[in-house]
Amino acid sequence: MLMLCVDIPTWGGCMRITIVNGSPRRRGATAKVLHAMQERAIVRWDAEVAYFDLGDYEMRYCDGCTSCYRTGRCHKDDGLEEVLDVLAASEGLVLGTPTYASNVSGVMKTFIDRGHFIMERALQGRHAVTVATGGNRGAGRALGVLRQLVVYSGGRVSDSISAIQHFNTDPLADSHRRHRVERATDRLCSDILSPRHHPLQTMESSLVFNVGIKPHVLAEAEGYSAVIASWKRRGID
C-alpha cells in the first residue's frame, strides 16, 4: 500500500509532493499515470506524497463572490480548502486530468476556479508536472490550461506528459511511456532538491504578475486584503 499523507503535521520526508487526480474515475488512465508517479517518487526519491482524487469531493462551483480574496478561504464548506492546505505545505505538485472536449475535465476546472491560486501566487517557488490523458490531440490544450495555472500562480513546470491512447486502455502498457513517466517524476524531484532555472516561464510569470495582477490588486486593495497578506507571507513585493 502506497503512503497517503493527508494530515499536514505528518509531513516529514526529504521532499513533499501533492498529486491531484482531476478525473472522476479513480482507476482510469489518468489515475494509472499518477499512481506510477507516486510510486516512483516514494521508492526512488523517498518522498512523502499526498494523493487526492477530486472525484471523491462534492465540490460546489465557484460563484464569483470574491470572498476568498478578502478572507483567504472559500466560504463553501466542502473539504476543498483542506486539500489546498496540504498543497500549500508541499514543495512539488502533479496535476493530472483526462481530456474532455479538448479541455480539462469539469472537476479539474472547478478545482482551478475554487483554488484562488493565481491572484495569491499560491504556487510561488514550487515545481510541477502536468499530465493529460485522452484519445486525441486535444490533450495538448488541456496541458496548456494546467501550464498556465502553474506559471501564472508563480510556479514552474518541470515537465509535461501527454498520454494519448484508445479509450479504456492502459497508458502504461507501452514501455516508452512508462519510461517517460519515470523521467518526468525524476525531473520534478530533482528540481525540488536543486531547482533549475526556467527563463521563459520566469519571464512570462513576471510579466503577468507585474503588468496585470499587481496593479489591479493594489488599485482595489480593500477587496484583496487576503491576497496582499499572502504576497507578504511569500516574500513577494
pLDDT per position as a tens digit, 190-229: 999 999 989 999 999 999 999 999 999 999 999 999 999 9
Asked if residue 54 is part of any domain, the answer here is yes
Per-residue pLDDT, averaged over 56-79, amounts to: 93
Q: CATH code at 82?
A: 3.40.50.360
| Inter-residue contact 24 to 59 (CB < 8 Å) | no
Domain for residue 145, yes or no?
yes
Instruction: Name the band, by pLDDT with cuts 50, 70 and 90, for residue 13.
Output: low
CA distance 157 to 80: 23
Confidence of residue 9 (pLDDT cuts 50, 70, 90): very low
Q: Are 115 and 86 in contact (CB under 8 A)?
A: no
Closest by CA position to 37, among listed 24, 27, 54, 49? 49
Alpha-carbon distance of 115 to 9, in angstroms, equals: 21
Number of domains in the chain: 1
Cell digits of residue 17: 509532493
- Measured on CA atoms in the order 56, 1, 40, 168, is the torsion positive or negative? negative
Least confident among 117-126, 149-158, 166-175, 196-205? 166-175
Evaluate whether residue 220 is within a structural domain.
Answer: yes
In a domain, 94, yes or no: yes
In a domain, 38, yes or no: yes
Report the length, in residues, of the chain: 237
In a domain, 183, yes or no: yes
User: Binning pLDDT at 50, 70 and 90, where does residue 12 land?
Assistant: low
Q: What is the pLDDT of residues 69-115, one digit of tens each?
A: 999 999 998 999 999 999 999 999 999 999 999 999 999 999 999 99
Domain-located, residue 2 = no
Residue 20 β-bridge partners: 52, 95
Please state the rounded mean pLDDT for residues 64-71: 94
Name, of 73-82, 125-134, 163-172, the range with top average pLDDT: 125-134
The residue segments making up the domain with residue 72 are 8-233
Residue 99 within any structural domain of the chain = yes
Q: Provide mean pLDDT across the span 135-143.
A: 88
Residue closest to 132 by CA, chosen among 164, 154, 158: 164
